Chains A and B, each alone.
Chain A
Amino acid sequence: MRFWQLASFGGFLLLLPLILGLNDYYIFLTTLILLYTVIVMAWYFIGGLAGQLDLGAGAYHGLGAVVTGYLMIYYNVSGWIGLVLGGLAAMGVAFIVGFPSFRFGLKEVWYALASLGLVLILQKIFLLWTDVAGPLERYIPFREFDPLYMRARAKWFYYYITLGLLLITFYLAHRAKRGKLGLYLVSIRDEEEAAEMLGIDTRRYKLVALLTYSFITAVTGGIYASMVGFYHPILFDGWIGIQTATIAIVGGLGHFWGPPLTSVILLSIAEYLRINLGGTIPGLHQVIFGAILITAILFKPAGIGPYLESLIEKVRKR
């Protein structure tokens, strides 16, 4: 039963570009939604499991974009290699910042603020680092269809890359949740001191969560840069982190499928509102989006995922 549900869902995702009539614009939007959903899913490691309210997604996203784009433009290196190297670079930065942060016991609001600060610091560093990024936009050479170089005019190419990444992220998160890592991280999240007394190396596991998250987020950045065909320090955007965290909270902090589901639904609503309202009153769609977010946080503090789960339980019991 579950197999067929998943298979039909997978089939739907696979055939989505055809359903959208191969219209580049709609596939582009869908891919963007999926990309952000990947970040939300990656946030599961650091936020959902390890319980650290990280707002630094923009830092890793931007880093992935810059590294991938830079290698593609100046060294003619395939984007695929760029994605990996970008991910590794993000892991490096995450380590440099994360190690002392966990060492000195940074948590809660201070951790959140430090991660947000990191985004802005990196943005300005790359703005000043004129050999690599700022202050001008750098354009990735156009290719009609070059899968090895990871650049194509048709948007379905990026759609499938993103879909693949989403599946991998799901798989990794699923494994982490079921495995030792998840167990340790959840115990750290819920009762850090108790976990420490049980002999769990809390710093190490938090760091593992952070590094995984930063790697995946950087890969989304690389895909994004190749898809829009340019990169700029502005991609180090603090807003991505804030949006990711809010969506994850609305979806249910620590819940497995709540946040990605919420992400797809809310971002689709946001795009729909943008297309329909963006022309008449620019920005109105974002206010509605914000209002939906805050209402959900205030009235369903546990999140949409757990709420749906309890609904399903009720239906089953009947």
Chain B
Amino acid sequence: MNSRCNGLTKLQAIVVVIVLVIGVAVGGIFAITLLQPTTPTAKVEEIRVGLVEPLTGTYAVFGNEAKMAAELIVEQINAQGGIKSLGGAKIKLIVEDSKSTADGARLAAEKLVSVDRVNVIVGAFISAHTLTMLDVTEPNKVIVMADALVDYLTARGFKYIVRLPPKASVHGATAVDFVVGLMKQKGEKITRPVLVHFDGLFGEVTGDGVYQRLRDLGIKLVDRIKYPTDITDMAPIIERIKAAEPDVVFVVPYFADSVLFAKAVKTLGLKVKFIAAAGGTGLADPDSIKAAGDAVELMTNTYSYDPFLPTEYNKKLVEDFRKRYGKLPTEAAGIIFYTLWTLKEGLELSGQKYPQDPLNGDNLMACFMELDLKSGPAAETYPTGRIKLLPNGDNMYAGAVVLQVQGGKPVLVYPFEKAQASAIYPRP
């Protein structure tokens, strides 16, 4: 502290030294990373599967349901003797919290890849978060099995991605088809639809799906209203919907905003013929019904999973899930069900075809591409009953269903031929 001038010149000297050492260190590290050999391990003892979900934060409702489902399914797979073609290797699930942020998901993926050295990552429910993970997983050939819906996850040329649930635009189109069909039964037509959605990636893309299907049917939107995901008061939005005087309202919400939306609709007495949501998050699942009470009565949403699918395995699974967690599994859990079972099938096949290196990203991906599941737990929990991947990683036979809240319970109302009960229309 006492020798001021001296300190400064020394500082300069240090800077020079540091620059030199940086050069050496960078060169050394670069050499090491290049020379690092990759040796495949012959014997597989366990398959490490990472699960990245929003366990806290805005989307925690979905993340926690997904985690419950994943723990249940992994338990079932391991109880059945693990992956038989890999000598009964067990699946080890490593759960990470994305904190409902894109950086959180990224950090989680970073940890799973470089510390836990996982073989596959399942996640991250929110499409925008999933995209940040792909930056980490792609170069390391770690396969991401996405439970996120946005279309272009699979349209950006990523090689190591599998996404089984129907795309966001399919959800949007399903919502429109359902309402159009429903109104046709009564001899009516949509005349003044309004679209309301939150302004995130998923809201935009699903909203586009609704918009495009309406446009194809020659129906014009009266208004398209966007709101921020962290909205705290829906009254201004409802006022704007009212001002548009719609007959049908299409809405793409997440969880908390859907609760606010439903309550504001009730409080402000919004009178429309029908309110249909798209995207599987909010309004018609048990959590929303619990949080919004009777405000969500008669509202519908589209889902990537049908909890009422009358297959033997699905019935048993829903029962197990109910017993253990006390609620009906819907969107988040359902996607995990068939995704993890498909993973199991893929691993079995890889063990048979590539016994010397079954967990290699390329080998495993090739096996996923070969799968054509028409029976077994994966197919029995999938809405259309069949899973076969397209080259981009999407399911060729993707399809969504519609649930409506009737008497405080979700009921399957679409596709019409499978419906448990006919949809109640119009709103009183």
Contact = CB atoms under 8 A, between A and B. Distances in A.
User: Is B one of A's binding partners?
Assistant: yes
Interface of A: 2-3, 6-7, 10-11, 14-15, 17-18, 22-26, 28-29, 127, 134-137, 139, 142, 144, 153-154, 156, 160, 164, 167, 171, 174, 178, 228-230, 232, 234, 278-279, 282-283
25 contacts: A6-B10, A6-B11, A7-B14, A14-B18, A14-B21, A14-B25, A17-B29, A18-B28, A22-B29, A23-B115, A25-B114, A26-B114, A29-B107, A137-B201, A142-B138, A153-B139, A156-B26, A167-B18, A229-B135, A230-B102, A230-B131, A232-B128, A234-B101, A279-B97, A282-B56
A15 to B, nearest CB: 6
Contact of B113 (A24, A228, A279): A24
B263 interface: no
B379 to A, nearest CB: 34
Contacts of A156: 26, 29
Interface in B76-130: 95, 97, 99, 101-103, 106-107, 110-111, 113-115, 128
Nearest to A174: B11
B139 A25 contact: no
Interface string B1-34: 0001001101101110110011001101100110
A23 B10 CA distance: 33
Nearest to B201: A136
Contact of B128 (A136, A167, A283): A136
Contacts, number: 105
B385 interface: no
A3 B10 contact: yes
A304 B12 CA distance: 28
A153 B128 CA distance: 19
B223 interface: no
A160 B14 contact: no
A171 B11 contact: yes
A3 to B, nearest CB: 5
B32 A228 contact: no
Closest 5 CB pairs of A and B: A135-B199, A24-B114, A282-B56, A25-B114, A229-B135
Contacts of B181: none
A282 B22 contact: no
Contacts of B138: 142
Contacts of A154: 33
Nearest to A171: B11
Contacts of B97: 278-279, 282
Contacts of A142: 135, 138-139
Contacts of A29: 107
A296 B385 CA distance: 60
A135 B29 contact: no
Chain B interface main SS type: helix
B360 interface: no
A10 B17 contact: yes
Contacts of B10: 2-3, 6
A136 B139 contact: no
B115 A135 contact: no
Given A17-B29, A127-B228, A137-B132, A25 B14 contact: no
Contacts of A171: 11, 15
A134 B107 CA distance: 22
A316 to B, nearest CB: 11
A283 to B, nearest CB: 6
Contact of B25 (A6, A15, A134, A232): A15
Contacts of A144: 139
B204 interface: yes
Given A10-B17, A17-B29, A278-B97, A24 B110 contact: yes
Nearest to B198: A135
Interface in B335-366: none
Contacts of A137: 102, 128, 131-132, 201
A178 B26 CA distance: 33
A200 to B, nearest CB: 22
A7 B17 contact: yes
A164 B26 CA distance: 13
Contacts of B132: 137, 139, 228-230
B107 A28 contact: yes
